[in-house]
Amino acid sequence: MNKTELVEIAAKEADISKAAAGKVLDAIIGAVVKTVAKGGTVALIGFGTFKSSKRAARTGKNPRTGEALKIAATTVPKFSSGAGFKAAVAGKKAKK
């Protein structure tokens, strides 16, 4: 599923226009990105949690030459799925 398909489903389920659903989706994604970029956490109970995670500097290997190279430390986004989402994907009912 891509963003256009998601907007179509959201518009149909919420009985709103596709334009309105697109604006809502863009606003939600923007809020999540902005919060996580500032080091915050976005927790959607039952779905999952978005947060930033620090990745330490490490030594890697150039696959073409085998030469060792340094990979700098960085901050990356991380998503941890919630119990309800995990249960739905596994085909089970979520515990209450």
- Please check whether residues 57 and 25 belong to one and the same domain: no
- 61 assigned to some structural domain: yes
Nearest to 43 by CA among 35, 2, 26: 35
Domain of residue 62, residue span: 41-87
User: How far apart (Å, rounded) are the C-alpha atoms in residues 16 and 33?
Assistant: 24
For 38-87, the pLDDT digits (tens) are 999 999 999 999 999 999 999 999 999 999 999 999 999 999 999 999 99
CATH label of the domain that carries residue 50:
4.10.520.10
- Please check whether residues 52 and 28 belong to one and the same domain: no
Strand partners, 17: none
By the 10 Å C-beta count (0-12 exposed, 13-18 middle, 19+ buried), 36 is classed as buried
- Please check whether residues 49 and 83 belong to one and the same domain: yes
Q: What is the pTM of this model?
A: 0.80
- 20 assigned to some structural domain: yes
- Please check whether residues 22 and 33 belong to one and the same domain: yes
